[in-house]
Each structure stands twice: as structure tokens, then as C-alpha cells.
Amino acid sequence: MINFVLKIQENQILMRMYHTVSSLIQLIPYYIMEEYYIDQPNLNVPLEKEDSEIFLLSLDDMRLLGNHEESNITPEELIRWFNAGRLCLAFRYKGEIAAYSWCDLNYLEYKGRKVALKQNEAYLFHARTYKPFRGKNLAPCVRNELCKLLKGRGIERFLSITLWSNTASMKFKQKLGAKPIELFLYVGLFRKFNLHFRLRKMA
């Protein structure tokens, strides 16, 4: 298989054909995950607690996030998320945002698929830890604190999406006991049509 791929890469005509096809058709397998809140002792963060805080971001923070050098989302899009009622919980260290995680209490959305959530459900998405703070267990810490906050608001079920190929995301979620409950295949055609097929139900 590796030799086959290398031969394609060495052949310019085949590579052009591959890029043409991949621009017309997208195939992305992904999991629907169920996440859980767990007690905090197993999620210790190696940073001084007196210099750290976890808090909900405000509208004024959206431009800060969107203009960050590591951001792949515009400030305008983040403002739309915020105005739609989505929440973003962040970890700040010495006055600097280090990590954050978003949630939606109304819909689970992914590439044209929009599923209405029940009153006791939340969709967790777009978790990020900035490069200088990676390796400090911040992602599971922030996610767990977000679940704790939501539980205080009557939310009991936490759903998220993990791409089949994203092992890093899967590992951080598994630290919180998350489990895949469904496997889907996304098929994008001509950058216009979005199709989702459930391949397997696991729970």
C-alpha cells in the first residue's frame, strides 16, 4: 500500500487526478462521542493555582480569540457563535488565555448535518490549547470543568464529534471516560452536497 501511494506521488498526472477527485469528493468517517463529568483529582494541571482561573468568555473576548495567530476561525464567526447562545469556557494563566472549549445547547452541527438537542443535552466542540501550554493536561481539565458547569444548569448528557483519524482528540476525551456511540461517514460532493451515513451504532 505504501509503495502504491509513493508511485502516485511520483507521477504528476496521477497526482493531478488525485487532487481533482479529492476536491470533488470528500470522505470523512467520524464518531459521535458521549462524554462524562468526572471528579477532578485525576486531572491535575502542573501550573500554579494562584495564577490560574477558569471562566466563561464574554463577547469582548471573541475578537481576541479570532485574531490569535493560531486561530482558524474569524472573529466575526466567533461573534455569531456567541450571539447564537453558544458558551465558551476558558483557562487563563497569568492573564493569558491558554485553552478553551465551546458548547451548544441547541444543536449538534457538522458539515450540513444539524440535529436538535434535548433539554438535558449539550454538544461540546472546538476545544483548543495554545502551543505554549500544550502537554499540561489543560484540554481534559477545561472540558471537565465545562461539563461541571453544564451539570449545574441541568445538562446531563454531553455529546461531541471526533474524526476517525484524529487520535489526539480521541485520547484526550478518553481521559474523561468518553466513549464512541455511533460511527458515521460524511460524503461531500462537489463542495455542494453533504451526505451523512450511519455505519454503526455502538450504544
Tell me the pLDDT band of 129, cut-offs 50, 70 and 90.
Answer: very high
pLDDT confidence bin for 166, thresholds 50/70/90 = very high
Q: What band does 13 get if pLDDT is binned at 50, 70 and 90?
A: low
- Give the separation between CA 1 and CA 17, rounded to whole angstroms: 18
Residue 162: all three cell numbers together:
471526533
Please list, in sequence order, all residues whose beta carbon lies within 8 angstroms of the beta carbon of residue 121, skipping any fewer than 6 positions away: 105, 155, 156, 157, 158, 159
- Whole-structure pTM value: 0.84
- Residue 38 pLDDT grade (very low, low, confident, very high; cuts 50, 70, 90): confident
Domains and their CATH numbers in the chain: 30-184 (3.40.630.30)
The DSSP output letter for 152 is T
Q: Which residues contact 122 (CB under 8 A, 6 or more apart)?
A: 103, 104, 105, 150, 155, 157, 158, 159
Question: 136-157 pLDDT, tens per residue?
Answer: 889 989 999 999 999 999 999 9
Q: How far apart are CA 194 and CA 184, in angstroms?
A: 13
Burial class (CB in 10 A: 0-12, 13-18, 19+), 126: middle
Residue pLDDT, tens place only, 57-116: 999 999 999 999 999 999 999 999 999 999 999 999 999 999 999 999 999 999 999 999
